[in-house]
Amino acid sequence: MIESGLGTGASFFAPQVGAWSAEVVNDLRERYNDRPDVSGDAFIVKLERQLKGAPDSTILLAAELLTVHALPLANLTQESKRRRIETVLGWMQHSPTLPSEVVEAFAEGSWHGGQGAHQHIWRWLAHLVEFLQHWWELEELQRQKALNDPWEWRNAVRATEVLPSLRECLLYFGFPHHFLPIINVDDKQRILKSFSDEAARSGDQDRDLFELTLRLQERHGGYFDYYASPYVEQWRPDRDRSTRRAWLVRPRRPQGGEDALVERWRREGFVSLAATHLGVVEPGSDRHQVAAAVEEGYQHTDYAQRLQLTTEYHIFLTRMASDDVVVTIVDGQVWIGQVTGDATYSDSDEGRLRRPTEWADQSFDVDQLPAPLAADIDQQGAVVDLTGALDALLSLVEAEDQAEPHDEAPALQFEVDVPSLRSANAELAMRLHIEQEWLQESLDVLQDRQQVIFYGPPGTGKTYLARALARHVTDPDAVRLVQFHPSYTYEDFFEGYRPVSGADGTVGFQLQPGPLRQIASEARDDPGRPYVLIVDEINRANLAKVFGELYYLLEYRRDSVRLQYSPGESFTLPPNVFVVGTMNTADRSIALVDAAIRRRFAFIELHPDEPPVRDLLRNWLHANHKDLDRAFLLDALNDAIGAEDRDFKIGPSYLMTADTEREGGLARIWEYSILPLLQEHYYGRLGRDQVRARYGLASIQARIAAQIEQKIRDDSLPGQGTDDPDSARGPSDEA
């Protein structure tokens, strides 16, 4: 396409049309470059307006130039590329068919396009038109030399001020055997520096890279990829490039408005920190070197501020790198850019420490962002790590390119929401011996509130139900269970320092994550899957001490908090983390639970007098083809306890074990499980003998026998009989 267009001016899509000729280029410049559309519409919508009424040849040129733009992009889908070009071709009166070889080539890609290739597509096209205009202003002899000599070609490309990404793209397209498919100039410099022993240096970067590549190809037997392992580690060893990183940089000026500073960042293409007293610290310096410079230059500030400045400057100088995403926020608008080079120093009062950055033209209202991203951006600090939100940010950046042609604005297609929980089904209901409708209602509450507590007396199956529901809605590896107790702490639950053995046998302390931090980390990396944290006996710990600052996140899921042991880091609770607690009301009534925890959780009661617990034992006995003796015993026991001691009533799980089937098993359960529990409940009110006399197995059986006798006497009276044979049914003699 480049060869035919720049050689003869002929179109690649329709060779009989001179779409690349000087006349057509000038017409496109007049319609597009000289008449910019500054509306907030999508690029393709504005381009259609600008080309309305244009000759087919002009529209065809625009389509082929956009093809040049799209072909090398590995992060733009084949369908998006095809749709865009066919949309532009559709504006012609007589449009050609997109060649099949072009459609096939759209599936490939040479590099990952950044801001210059996506949000700056309008500028990319305008600069390419300017290059073409300059091309046709050259003498024919110069053009022929440029088409046959890579270094003359480079002179022609460099003669026009264009985006760096476009310049490198044109060099590679013109002579792919002489220029590398690398659009990041900083990467080229690092490669040359790291492989300096392999070839002599002439001072001409492109020639030196060409000679270096030839030598390495000869040594390694053919094609050589600088971005493949183990070569990439030689020139980029200090950074894991399996993923990019993202950073929030806040504008801070001692005088003047922050909005003016951000406007200058965007207009001049950089991002900066004040660094007024920092001195000159080389990019790539370690934290100790940065800290020493901060200590020397900022002695007039508090030590806490010096620690914060050290973190911020170290990130900006060393951890941040080309191709990273950078974000800033001003006046409720979020702006996104891409770092394009190393840190440098400037004499400007707008910020001495700078990094070149390509900023997107589209801003986003912070109130329209999804909860996790909005919370991340709300973190405090001048420089904040946002890598956890990188995917969401990239979706914003690339939304305009992936959108349908007439979308007015990029669609927030990456919206991260609370994942839908699996509905209760008949199988779950049968397995738990609980009505399906009740189970679904509980799951609906969990879906809406994300934090629930099952509460009730002992033996009502709270923990069993919590685990069963958790494993129903997600995979077993996404479920964690912890049990609170009076000595449980924040350090146990979230994070704290733990002793560790060093290699030399010494013992030190290391910050270790607890179950909440671990499950939050896993959930953040897997946002589409529910993660469930079960907190058994949640009321037995000092909740304010255990949760600490995380208490806030239980109520405000969209927000973030600073951490006790990681003050430089903000933490958010991912929306796909569900917390299910259990609480024994015999230990502490719900009315006595901290109002703060009651506000943050939905409470679902499991009580022997109410469904589903009331019918649980009978359902289980029926399902296992057993008589109902145990159900009658439990009913009689709880009737004896009475409504006044409602929280002391006993749940059915004690009688749903295999032990009750063994000889003497029921008596042992009563003696060693149920009676000790009741003695504890009635401590100070009833003595041991009184509890046994009132609630012992023999007493309850005698109570049932008396009730049966009374029932028989009542039924024998005239007019008191019943047609229902089950109404007089009682436990068998074995009870």
- 246-402 and 426-605: same fold? no
- How far from the centroid of its chain's Cα atoms is residue 440's Cα? 28
Which of the residues in the chain have pLDDT under 50? 240-241, 254, 400-416, 725-729, 732-735
Instruction: Report pLDDT for 665.
Output: 93
**Architecture per CATH, 246-402:** Roll (3.10)
Q: Which CATH class for the 426-605 domain?
A: alpha beta
Instruction: Tell me 683's DSSP state.
Output: T
Report the chain's C-alpha Rg in angstroms. Answer: 36
| pLDDT tens track for 310-368 | 989 999 999 998 889 999 998 888 899 889 888 999 887 666 899 999 888 778 888 77
Q: Quick one: how many helices (H) and strands (E) in the chain? A: 32, 17
The residue among 226, 109, 153, 189 whose CA lies nearest residue 6 is 153
Closest by Cα among 17, 26, 16, 20 to 147: 20
Each domain of the chain, given as residue ranges in start order, spans 2-183, 246-402, 426-605, 613-728
What DSSP string describes 425-444? -HHHHHHHTS-HHHHHHHHH
Q: How far is CA 696 from CA 17, 271, 664, 679, in A?
A: 102, 78, 15, 11
CA distance 243 to 689: 70
Could you give the CA distance from residue 573 to residue 482 in angstroms, rounded to a whole number? 18
Residues above pLDDT 70, as percent of the chain: 89
pLDDT at 723: 52
- At 601, list the tokens: 């959780």
Cis peptide, bond prior to residue 612, ω within 30 of zero? yes
**What are 534's strand-pairing partners?**
481, 580
Question: How is residue 557 annotated by DSSP?
Answer: T
Pairing of strands 479-483, 531-536: parallel
